[in-house]
Amino acid sequence: MAYTSGLDLAVVAVSSGSHAEAMRRQFQAPAEIDPVTGERRRGEWVGERLQLRALEDSVLQPVPRRSTEGFHQQKNTYRREYSFEVSPLPDVTELPLVTAWPAIGLEPATTYLELPPPEVLRAGIISLGGDPGRRKYF
């Protein structure tokens, strides 16, 4: 998803067999209610996170935003969905991303995200009103 401020990247990790159990152990605990304040607080990470980084680019580094246990879990498989933000909006047509998760046996792998030319990408962003630089979620 492209915004005037950057990209929102969705990454889905699916594992099977012994890797599924290793992946299941690498998660962020559910949110908890603070017994004193009554406010929700984010659960703590239990294991090592999926790693995603831009290859050879110090500016366009993906920042993790959230992860959720994926739907449609099956026996001997595990699925987790991640959201990363890349900011600012890239001025390139190809963004090489390296994914790794050593804790579950996923060695670094490079994927080349193909983007439209920057002017086409920017022209395709639809403002939903208000501040055009601010993200709107509906």
Contacts of 50 (CB under 8 A, 6+ apart): 11, 13, 26, 67, 80, 82, 99, 100, 101, 106
Check: CB of residue 99 under 8 Å from CB of residue 50. Answer: yes
Global pTM? 0.73
Q: Which pLDDT tens digit goes with each residue over 54-109?
A: 988 778 899 988 877 766 667 788 888 889 999 999 999 999 999 998 888 889 99
pLDDT of residue 138: 39
Please, where are the H alpha helices in 2-135?
18-24, 118-123
| E strand residue ranges, 39-105 | 40-41, 51-54, 63-69, 77-86, 94-101
Q: Is 138 helix (H, G, I), strand (E, B) or coil?
A: coil
